[in-house]
């Protein structure tokens, strides 16, 4: 390696200080335009990576003087942070952007409408926004997030549309403050981008090459989160198992996990997503030995057919996947496995689909995120022959859902009588809710929501198909 990643990957502190100055300038212009306390509505689509981006975007907006509201109708600034992973996700965004037009018109065109995120990073989408959505004022791609203050300033000064979507590589911006909805659950990005180029997937094109945050930066943020009341920290990356691989430091993901586990405080750790091709013995050992890491592994297999896995460029076989599961269960008999699976990849046959069914039956996932293949512009799979009619794919999809429902309900029944320490996340309709160590939702009847944000001990009393019900038991001293 000839170039030091520190130099090329990080946005300089001078540049970030410049952006903070733009925040101050925007504050004045926003005041002129909207009066005191301009209101922003930020809506996030897609994965937790986007949620984490939105938290930093809100951090910048707060520095500009915005407060946040829950509907577009109340807002002076509306931002959609978009997802491009499937066509359905994109269609929904276009529909919701369309619905903003009458709201904006009734507000005398003063409202600012902005789009960012993965969709905007695709040329054809940016073009469509340019041509057909003239009431959208500001569009910025995933690589331009840190430059939002400057772009907002351009927009406010010139009162012309601003598009910042042409940058093709991503860098890391450290130190942007995050505004979080809930303090007790925190998303902590440890890396950005993806180098895997699974043939169906748009993510590497819209999120750029893999880049890992320095371990010290991640640890410092984890400490801050714990100090400010985080009880659950979820480490994020498209493929956390390759953390550090393209960086100049030596810390890999298992080592990072151990370091975070060793931090003082009463909190739990989760992480996602793990790619099977990089899921090492060391990771499974670290998981099994780290006290704060929950017993849940989200390990997307995508297909049970080796032929399809090869066409997807996934880099493992169904056999290798089964052996990983076996090893994980040897080390952690109580581990819950969840996964993503795609039905109807180009060229998939009934035989291939049967291999997927047989894999889910063999493994016994707690839950499964199932998707019908959706062609993405510019990906290799979009150019592959896809002879299977949508109707047939729909039949397979429903068959898969049914098979998984049967598996999940048996797994849920097996939970009856088990005791979990649960972080209480919500109180609604006389029930507290949280998740077991294995990430299954558990509802607990209660009189009040006083324990939201705290740990509670619960015994599972009833099982549904996907969720559990429990009752509170006194907390054991930990
Ligand atoms: N980095 C993660 C996945 C991120 S995308 C991983 O590799 O596991 C989340 C899920 O969306 C993927 O696991 C896949 O199952 C699904 N997905 C991605 N692209 C898709 C497409 N073009 N059509 C249908 N599903 C897709
Ligand atoms: Fe997409 Fe594959 Fe990267 Fe996951 S690992 S984000 S599926 S290219
Ligand atoms: Fe969607 Fe982008 Fe995440 S495409 S799944 S929001 S990385």
pLDDT (tens, 9 = 90+) of the chain, 478 residues, equals 334 444 458 999 999 999 999 999 999 999 999 998 999 999 999 999 999 999 999 999 999 999 999 999 999 999 999 999 999 999 999 999 999 999 999 976 789 999 999 999 999 999 999 999 999 999 999 999 999 999 999 999 998 999 999 887 889 999 999 999 889 999 999 999 999 999 999 999 999 999 999 999 999 999 999 999 999 999 999 999 999 999 999 999 999 999 999 999 999 999 999 999 999 999 999 999 999 999 999 999 999 999 999 999 999 999 999 999 999 999 999 999 999 999 999 999 999 999 999 999 999 999 999 999 999 999 999 999 999 999 999 999 999 999 999 999 999 999 999 999 999 999 999 999 999 999 999 999 999 999 999 999 999 999 998 999 999 998 765 4
Instruction: Specify the ligand 1 atom closest to the Cα of 374.
Output: 23
Three-state secondary structure call for residue 228: coil
Cβ burial of 300 (10 Å; 0-12, 13-18, 19+) is buried
pLDDT of residue 169: 83
Ligand 3, residues 43, 48, 49: which to mutate, most atoms within 8 A of Cβ?
49
pLDDT of residue 476: 67
239 Cβ inside 6 Å of ligand 1? yes
pLDDT of residue 447: 95
> How many CB atoms are located within 10 Å of the residue 155 CB?
18
Query: Pairing state of beta strands 468-473 and 455-463?
Result: antiparallel
Using the 8-state DSSP alphabet, how is residue 10 labeled? B
Distance in Å, CA 299 to ligand 1 centroid:
12
Both tokens of 290, joined, read 């780290």
Query: Distances in Å between the alpha carbon of 318 and those of 253, 274, 358?
Result: 24, 16, 10
pLDDT of residue 168: 78
Please tell me the number of the ligand nearest to residue 340's CA. 1
* Cβ contact 272:224 at 8 Å: no
| Number of DSSP helices (H) and strands (E) in the chain, helices first | 14, 20
Cβ burial of 100 (10 Å; 0-12, 13-18, 19+) is buried
54 Cβ inside 6 Å of ligand 1? no
Treating both helix axes as pointing N-terminal to C-terminal, what angle do 390-413 and 350-363 enclose, rounded to 10 degrees? 10
At 400, which helix (H) or strand (E)? Answer: helix 390-413
Query: Distances in Å between the alpha carbon of 188 and those of 144, 172, 234, 260?
Result: 20, 14, 6, 11
pLDDT of residue 152: 98
User: pTM score, two decimals?
Assistant: 0.96
- What kind of fold does domain 419-477 have according to CATH? OB fold (Dihydrolipoamide Acetyltransferase, E2P) (2.40.50)
At 3, which helix (H) or strand (E)? Answer: none
Both tokens of 143, joined, read 């690589």
Which segments of 329-415 are extended strands (E)?
336-343, 367-372
pLDDT of residue 475: 73
Ligand 1, residues 51, 203, 300, 386: which to mutate, most atoms within 8 A of Cβ?
300
Query: Distances in Å between the alpha carbon of 141 and those of 61, 124, 131, 200?
Result: 17, 13, 17, 21
Using the 8-state DSSP alphabet, how is residue 96 labeled? H
Closest CA to 120 of 104, 147, 99, 143: 143
* Domain range annotation of the chain: 5-164, 185-413, 419-477
Domain 185-413 has CATH 2.30.30.60: no
DSSP annotation string for 253-289: HHHHHHHHHTSSSS-EEEEE---GGG--HHHHHHHHH
pLDDT of residue 24: 97
pLDDT of residue 9: 86
Both tokens of 393, joined, read 């794919």
47 Cβ inside 6 Å of ligand 3? yes
86 Cβ inside 6 Å of ligand 1? yes
* C-alpha R_g of the chain: 23
pLDDT of residue 478: 46
Residues 6+ apart with CB under 8 A from 363: 322, 325, 337, 339
- 5-164 belongs to which CATH class? alpha beta
Name the residue with the closest Cα to ligand 3, atom 3: 47
């Amino acid at each position: 390696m000839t170039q030091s990643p520190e130099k090329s990957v990080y946005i300089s502190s001078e540049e970030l200080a410049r952006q903070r100055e733009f925040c101050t300038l925007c504050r004045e212009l926003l005041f002129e335009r909207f009066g005191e306390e301009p209101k922003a509505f930020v809506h996030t689509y897609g994965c937790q990576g986007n949620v984490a981006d939105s938290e930093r975007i809100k951090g910048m907006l707060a520095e500009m003087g915005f407060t946040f509201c829950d509907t577009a109708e109340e807002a002076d600034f509306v931002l959609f942070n978009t997802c491009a992973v499937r066509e359905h996700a994109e269609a929904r965004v276009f529909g919701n952007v369309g619905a903003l037009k009458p709201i904006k018109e009734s507000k005398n065109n003063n409202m600012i409408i902005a789009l960012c995120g993965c969709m905007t990073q695709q040329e054809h989408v940016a073009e469509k926004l340019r041509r057909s959505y003239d009431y959208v004022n500001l569009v910025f791609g995933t690589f331009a997030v840190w430059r939002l203050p400057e772009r907002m300033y351009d927009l406010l000064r010139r009162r012309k549309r601003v598009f910042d979507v042409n940058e093709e590589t991503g860098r890391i911006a450290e130190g942007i403050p995050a505004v979080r909805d809930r303090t007790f659950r925190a998303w902590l990005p440890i890396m950005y981008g993806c180098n895997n180029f699974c043939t169906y997937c748009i993510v590497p094109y819209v999120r750029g090459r893999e880049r890992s945050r320095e371990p010290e930066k991640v640890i410092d943020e984890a400490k801050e989160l714990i100090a400010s009341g985080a009880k659950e920290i979820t480490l994020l990356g498209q493929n956390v198992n390759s953390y550090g691989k393209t960086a100049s430091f030596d810390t890999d993901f298992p080592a990072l996990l151990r370091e975070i586990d060793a931090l003082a405080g009463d909190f739990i750790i989760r992480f996602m997503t793990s790619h099977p091709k990089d899921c090492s013995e060391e990771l499974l050992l670290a998981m099994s030995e780290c006290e704060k890491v929950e017993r849940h592994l989200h390990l997307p297999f995508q297909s049970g057919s080796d032929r399809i896995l090869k066409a997807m460029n996934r880099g493992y076989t169904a056999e290798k996947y089964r052996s990983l599961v076996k090893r994980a269960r040897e080390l952690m008999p109580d581990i819950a496995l969840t996964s993503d699976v795609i039905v109807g990849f180009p060229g998939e046959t009934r035989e291939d689909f049967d291999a997927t069914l047989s894999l889910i039956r063999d493994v016994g996932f707690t839950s499964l995120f199932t998707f019908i293949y959706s062609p993405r512009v510019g990906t290799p799979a979009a150019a592959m022959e896809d002879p299977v009619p949508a109707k047939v794919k729909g039949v397979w999809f429903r068959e898969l859902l049914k098979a998984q429902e049967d598996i999940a309900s048996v797994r849920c029944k097996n939970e009856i009588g088990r005791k979990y320490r649960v972080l209480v996340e919500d109180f609604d309709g006389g029930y507290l809710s949280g998740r077991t160590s294995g990430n299954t939702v558990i509802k607990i009847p209660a009189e009040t929501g006083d324990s939201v944000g705290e740990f509670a001990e619960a015994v599972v009393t009833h099982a549904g198909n996907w969720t559990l019900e429990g009752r509170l038991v006194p907390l054991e001293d930990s």
